[in-house]
Amino acid sequence: MKKDCILEFENVSKYYGDELVFNNVNLKIKKGEVISIVGKSGSGKSTLLKCINRLESIDNGNIKFKGMDIAKKSLVELRQKIGIVFQDYNLFEHLTVFDNLMIGLIKIKGYSKKDSIHKVLNILKKMDLTDKKDKYPDELSGGQKQRIAIARTLLMEPDIILLDEPTSALDKEMRDSVLELINDLVDEDMTLIVVSHENEFVNKVSDRIFILNKHTLLEKKNG
Ligand SMILES: Nc1ncnc2c1ncn2[C@@H]1O[C@H](COP(=O)(O)OP(=O)(O)OP(=O)(O)O)[C@@H](O)[C@H]1O
Ligand SMILES: [Mg+2]
């Protein structure tokens, strides 16, 4: 493994029961790379992302994060290092924005209350959402919720962020604010794996684009 390879798929196959999702996937991702995965509905894009942080198991091959088989890592650590953001945000509806952001810092990262407050206020400011801190998720727009979901992932200080159609539930105006935020992550050299139908955006930000088709992952060549 090269030193800068952060994530590696080696001959990975995944079935649901008898149904093959993908077969023999090989992929090496370098730190700071932005990879996009495209493909038809049902081709297995979400499943592939879920395998990376063990929301789904694999049936063959292995996935290595910084050279170590992810099956050997603790789930808590793996999911801290590899954050995932879904299309429908997954915020805790009964907690305010502030508490949604605090909870992981205290319970997972183990930061003190004082440090956590500082970090939360900082990221809210950066995202221009300070005035929403005491609101509940159902008082926010879709774009605001998605930005909070991304902020919550960022606070875990992940090495990789997986984005599964982060804008597909949003209308145009809200979409732009989320794409802008993702663009900032690209500029900050975050390693990203993005599943998105936003072709223009995908073409602009991706170092490499892969197509999942007929159970196979293939790199899309430019031109
Ligand atoms: N938990 C599950 N159990 C059984 N089959 C599943 C499960 N999740 C997904 N599938 C099937 O696996 C295949 C891949 O699904 P997946 O959700 O990964 O596709 P996708 O490419 O993300 O599609 P979309 O673009 O619609 O989100 C589909 O045929 C789907 O029906
Ligand atoms: Mg999907």
For residue 197, the ligand closest to its alpha carbon is: 1
Reduced 3-state DSSP string for 96-139: CHHHHHHHHHHHCCCCCHHHHHHHHHHHHHHCCCHHHCCCCHHH
Query: Which tokens hold the place of 190?
Result: 């975050």
- Residue 3 has a pLDDT of 60
Range of the domain at 207: 5-220
- Residue 51 has a pLDDT of 98
User: Helix, strand, or coil here: 90?
Assistant: coil
Dihedral angle over CA of 137, 140, 143, 146, nearest 10: -10
- Residue 73 has a pLDDT of 95
Mean pLDDT for the chain overall:
93
Q: Is the pLDDT of residue 2 over 80?
A: no
> What CATH code is carried by the domain that includes residue 12?
3.40.50.300
| Number of domains, the chain | 1
Indicate whether residue 47 lines ligand 1 (CB < 6 A): yes
**Ligand 1 pocket mutation, candidates 16, 40, 54, criterion most atoms within 8 A of CB:** 16
pLDDT band at 215 (very low <50, low <70, confident <90, very high): very high
Query: Which tokens hold the place of 93?
Result: 């509806």
Indicate whether residue 46 lines ligand 1 (CB < 6 A): yes
pLDDT tens column, 122-151 = 999 988 899 999 999 999 988 899 899 999
Bridge partners of 34, per DSSP, are 192
Q: Cα-flanking dihedrals φ and ψ of residue 121, to 5°?
A: -65, -35
pLDDT tens column, 22-71 = 999 999 999 999 999 999 999 999 999 999 999 999 999 999 999 999 99
